[in-house]
């Protein structure tokens, strides 16, 4: 009987309802499966055959500790999904630069290194951006992310300086499509495309996460968008259990905003067979080698 831990955080120790579907499927198939808080020192990780990262939504607040924990899990002999090497590469949003270099369309971005002294207003003016979104390079769930208009940049210089004192920062051209049409999330399970949802922000907002009032609904994207998302997922090296490609539809071109490989919501409830397919992949030891 395979022993599986679904790693979560202290804020949701019993998993989200969506991840609970996976737990039920694993148990239905005879696995010994339970939720475990990733930073609970009492958890015997060596006793698990597989550890699946799920609602570890605080990883970005303690990244070094989280990375060290993933290394300990793997050293203990458990199979970690997704693998620690992918977690480390995906934790810093510089992976978007690599995607852009490979030909993937990503949002226009100004990359500001930690400690840089920059003129915020000049950054926006030089690029001709009327509005922008500012976010740390290590972040999740829109943490410390904010929107700014060009004419307000000087008044928010101190906020940018504070972010830069703590780490690298991205300044991205604001995408009006998010508020107008929504942001797509394409979910891939065991290497294959599973389903898509369209996420929309609350009225007057731009953040699509549910904690900010956003909503998500199962939707059927254009096949061309799915093909583009599949190519993005295909850039992920090695074997991986899940991936989520987030982006906007800009005149038929998928402009990527995120490639989530650590702890994204997989919207398992939006596709009837998704929980069972994911459970099967875990119990079979992951997806087949590509």
In this prediction, residue 57 carries a pLDDT of 92
Query: What are the residue ranges of CATH 3.30.1490 in the chain?
Result: 109-173
Question: pLDDT, tens digit, for every residue of 258-282?
Answer: 999 999 999 999 999 999 999 999 9
Burial class (CB in 10 A: 0-12, 13-18, 19+), 100: middle
The CB density around residue 90, as the number of other CB atoms within 10 Å, is 20
In this prediction, residue 180 carries a pLDDT of 83
Q: What is the 3-state secondary structure (H, E, C) of the chain?
A: CCEEEEEECCCCCCCCHHHHHHHHHHHHCCCEEEEEECCCCCCCHHHCCEEEECCCCCHHHHHHHHHHHHHHHHHCCCEEECCHHHHHHHCCCCHHHHHHHCCCCECCEEEECCCCCCCHHHHHHHHCCCEEEEEECCCCCCCCCEEEEHHHCHHHHHHHHHHHHHCCEEEEECCCHHHHCCEEEEEEECCEEEEEEEEECCCCCCCCCHHHCCEEEECCCCHHHHHHHHHHHCCCCCCCCEEEEEEEEECCEEEEEEEECCCCCCCHHHCCCHHHHHHHHHHCCCCCCC
Q: What is 109-173's CATH topology?
A: Dna Ligase; domain 1 (3.30.1490)
Question: pLDDT, tens digit, for every residue of 103-156?
Answer: 999 999 999 999 999 999 999 999 999 999 999 998 766 678 889 999 999 999
Q: Is the dihedral of CA 26, 210, 13, 53 positive or negative?
A: positive
- Please compute the mean of the pLDDT values over residues 51-79 and round it to a whole number: 96
User: What are φ and ψ of residue 200, in 5° steps?
Assistant: -130, 145
- Please compute the mean of the pLDDT values over residues 209-229 and round it to a whole number: 82
* pLDDT surpasses 70 at 205: no
pLDDT band at 206 (very low <50, low <70, confident <90, very high): low
Query: What are the residue ranges of CATH 3.30.470.20 in the chain?
Result: 95-104+177-271
- Please compute the mean of the pLDDT values over residues 44-48 and round it to a whole number: 97
Class of domain 3-90: alpha beta
Burial class (CB in 10 A: 0-12, 13-18, 19+), 251: exposed
In this prediction, residue 219 carries a pLDDT of 83
> Domain 95-104+177-271 carries which CATH code?
3.30.470.20
Do 160 and 181 contact (CB within 8 A), yes or no? no
Question: pLDDT, tens digit, for every residue of 151-204?
Answer: 999 999 999 999 999 999 999 999 998 888 889 999 999 989 999 999 887 665
Of residues 290 and 220, more confidently modeled: 220
């Amino acid at each position: 009987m395979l022993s599986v831990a679904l790693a979560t955080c202290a804020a949701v120790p019993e998993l989200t309802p969506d991840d609970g579907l996976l737990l039920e499927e694993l148990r239905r198939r005879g696995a010994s499966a339970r939720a475990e808080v990733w930073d609970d020192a009492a958890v015997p990780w060596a006793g698990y055959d597989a550890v699946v990262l799920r609602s570890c939504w605080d990883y970005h607040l303690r990244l070094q500790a989280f990375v060290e924990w993933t290394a300990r899990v793997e050293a203990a002999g458990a199979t970690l999904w997704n693998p620690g090497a992918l977690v480390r590469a995906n934790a810093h949003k510089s992976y978007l630069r690599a995607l852009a270099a490979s030909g993937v369309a990503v949002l226009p971005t100004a990359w500001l290194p930690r400690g840089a002294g920059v003129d915020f207003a000049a950054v926006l003016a030089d690029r001709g951006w009327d509005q922008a979104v500012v976010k740390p390079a290590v972040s999740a769930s829109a943490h410390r992310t904010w929107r700014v208009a060009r004419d307000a940049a000087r008044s928010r210089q101190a906020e940018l300086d504070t972010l830069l004192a703590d780490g690298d920062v991205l300044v991205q051209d604001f995408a009006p499509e998010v508020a107008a049409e929504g942001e797509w999330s394409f979910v891939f399970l065991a290497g294959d495309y599973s389903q898509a949802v369209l996420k929309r922000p609350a009225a007057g907002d731009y953040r699509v996460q549910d904690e900010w009032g956003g909503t998500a609904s199962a939707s059927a994207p254009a096949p061309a968008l799915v093909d583009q998302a599949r190519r993005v997922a295909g850039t992920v090296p090695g074997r991986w259990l899940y991936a989520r490609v987030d982006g906007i539809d800009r005149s038929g071109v998928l402009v990527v905003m995120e490639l989530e490989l650590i702890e994204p919501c997989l919207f398992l409830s939006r596709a009837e067979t998704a929980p069972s397919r994911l459970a099967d992949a875990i119990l079979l030891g992951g997806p087949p080698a590509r």
